[in-house]
Amino acid sequence: MRVLVTGGAGFIGSHLAEALLLRGDEVVALDDLSTGRLENIAHLTAWPRFSLTVGSVTNEPLVASLVDQADMVFHLAAAVGVRLVVNAPVHTIETNVHGTETVLRQAARAKKLVVVASTSEVYGKSAVFPFREDADLVLGPPTKTRWGYAASKLLDEFLALGYWQERQVPVIVVRFFNTVGPRQSERYGMVIPNFVRQALAGKPLTVHGNGAQTRSFTWVGDVVWALLALAAEPRSVGQVFNIGNGAETSIRELADMIVAMTGSDSDIRFTSYHEVFGPNFEDMSRRVPDISKIRQLVGYEPQVHLEQILERVIDYWTPEMPAGITINAEHAEFAEKTLGKASAGSAVSAFERPSL
Ligand code: NAD
């Protein structure tokens, strides 16, 4: 199968591309390298079945030709990250809405399957926990910039489901909840890579707010498994799925764990949201998914717990570790999980080190 992965040089996209290649597919990644990085996919270029096209998902002729050559699309390209969204609301909304519109319009011509990446942010300030896919969504007002990201992703969801209902384009909408793992960039306000980098550098860990807010962190390999399973299940078409992990951790607890696990003597420092993101910012106190829908349909069960995730992310960011592609049992386990067939001898994983 030939698969188009938009955002394929990004964090989740590069892991997905790797799993598709290991499964035997041909992968075309489309990425403008705005938040994605060539280092994320450097190891994939050894595969003749992998190619990268550098360009924008809003470039209609380009998307048309790539969709024509593909059997299906994972649409992950988006303007991502709280800091980016707060600083560049127009760019965020235009990229997310026009990009998805372009992909869906092109996929519609040949009715190709599109998996559209959405986000737990669409639940907004809802206080009905855990979040179910059919729940009401409670977004804040447009004067609070952060909601522009959620609103743009929600419009993507409406558009995708509209293409299914009105034009019979097979679509699957997935809402990710704090996906984490190696290769996630620290640059746009993502909490785990930021804390790990601060702890390893002996700098204070900067907690926004009082740290009592909780998040549920999901291992990127579990997310990749879920994406492959949903795409292979015809009954998932025309539906929305949470992809997350039901376990909740407060940001304060997370900071403590990272300090302890890195052996750092960093302090934990609390800063107000307003100091970091401006006077108009607001945050949610909890964000926890109900994963019963995806569990029932494809047997999804998160496999990797927070402590193991942190070990792997710390390992990824630890500078004295040797660079390069590593083959070992743990990485084979990742491949086995995403593929269901790799063995320790055959799995080639690529949790290659970043250049610090
Ligand atoms: P990421 O920033 O690593 O990936 C996004 C990729 O899209 C990047 O490689 C970026 O360069 C690319 N991109 C951005 N604009 C583009 C454009 N106009 N044309 C082509 N490529 C473009 O972030 P990620 O965490 O891997 O996110 C992947 C998807 O998952 C996004 O749609 C995001 O909204 C969604 N998501 C992620 C999380 C998470 O926790 N990581 C949570 C919720 C939703």
Q: Is 95 in the pocket of ligand 1 (CB under 6 A)?
A: yes
Q: Is 123 in the pocket of ligand 1 (CB under 6 A)?
A: no
Which pair of tokens denotes residue 344? 């320790």
Half-sphere exposure of 58 (CA within 13 A, CB side): 12
Q: Is 78 in the pocket of ligand 1 (CB under 6 A)?
A: yes
Residue 354's pLDDT band, with cuts at 50, 70 and 90, is: very low
33-47, 96-110, 319-333: the lowest-pLDDT one: 319-333
Model confidence over 132-158: pLDDT tens digits? 999 999 999 999 998 999 999 999 999
Domain limits, the chain: 2-180+218-245+287-302+325-339
Q: Whole-angstrom Cα distance, residue 257 to residue 205?
A: 11
Q: Whole-angstrom Cα distance, residue 143 to residue 278?
A: 12
Residue 28 pLDDT > 90? yes
Residue 325 pLDDT > 90? no
Q: pTM for this one? A: 0.91
Indicate which residue's Cα is closest to atom 44 of ligand 1.
119
Q: Is 92 in the pocket of ligand 1 (CB under 6 A)?
A: no
Q: Is 2-180+218-245+287-302+325-339 a domain of CATH 3.40.50.970?
A: no
179-180 and 205-208 strand pairing:
unpaired
- Once rounded to an integer, what is the mean pLDDT over residues 21-37? 97
Q: Whole-angstrom Cα distance, residue 54 to residue 33?
A: 7
Residue 4 pLDDT > 80? yes
- Once rounded to an integer, what is the mean pLDDT over residues 284-298? 96
226-230, 307-311, 341-345: the lowest-pLDDT one: 341-345
Q: Which amino acid is at 119?
A: T
Residue 309's pLDDT band, with cuts at 50, 70 and 90, is: very high
Which atom of ligand 1 is least distant from the CA of 153?
Answer: 34
* HEC secondary structure over the chain: CEEEEECCCCHHHHHHHHHHHHHCCEEEEEECCCCCCHHHHHHHHHCCCEEEEECCCCCHHHHHHHHHHCCEEEECCCCCCHHHHHHCHHHHHHHHHHHHHHHHHHHHHHCCEEEEEEEHHHHECCCCCCECCCCCCECCCCCCCCHHHHHHHHHHHHHHHHHHHHHCCCEEEEEECCEECCCCCCCCCCHHHHHHHHHHCCCCEEEECCCCCEECCEEHHHHHHHHHHHHCCHHHCCEEEEECCCCCEEHHHHHHHHHHHHCCCCCEEEECHHHHHCCCCCCCCCCCECCHHHHHHHCCCCCCCHHHHHHHHHHHHCCCCCCCCCCCHHHHHHHHHHHCCCCCCCCCCCCCCCCC
Which atom of ligand 1 is least distant from the CA of 185?
Answer: 3
Residue 273's pLDDT band, with cuts at 50, 70 and 90, is: confident
Assess whether 149 carries a catalytic annotation. Answer: yes
Q: Is 219 in the pocket of ligand 1 (CB under 6 A)?
A: no
What's the CA-to-centroid distance between 125 and ligand 1, angstroms? 22
Model confidence over 152-197: pLDDT tens digits? 999 999 999 999 999 999 999 999 999 999 999 988 779 999 999 9
Residue 283 pLDDT > 90? no
Which atom of ligand 1 is least distant from the CA of 183?
Answer: 3
The residue with greater pLDDT, 81 or 58, is 58
Q: Whole-angstrom Cα distance, residue 129 to residue 227?
A: 24
Q: Whole-angstrom Cα distance, residue 338 to residue 12?
A: 13
What's the CA-to-centroid distance between 38 and ligand 1, angstroms? 14
Catalytic residue, from 123, 149, 163, 316: name it: 149
**Average pLDDT, whole number, for the chain?**
90
Pocket test for ligand 1, best of 4, 35, 92, 223 (most atoms within 8 A of CB): 35
Q: Is 73 in the pocket of ligand 1 (CB under 6 A)?
A: no
Q: Whole-angstrom Cα distance, residue 93 to residue 8?
A: 20
What's the CA-to-centroid distance between 36 and ligand 1, angstroms? 8
Position 320 scores a pLDDT of: 61
Q: Whole-angstrom Cα distance, residue 46 to residue 183?
A: 19
Specify the residue for token string 């964090």.
11
Indicate which residue's Cα is closest to atom 17 of ligand 1.
56
Position 345 scores a pLDDT of: 26
From residue 137, give the alpha-carbon distance in Å to each of 218, 258, 290, 318.
22, 32, 14, 39
The residue with greater pLDDT, 16 or 277, is 16
As to burial, measured by CB atoms within 10 angstroms (0-12 exposed, 13-18 middle, 19+ buried), residue 276 is middle
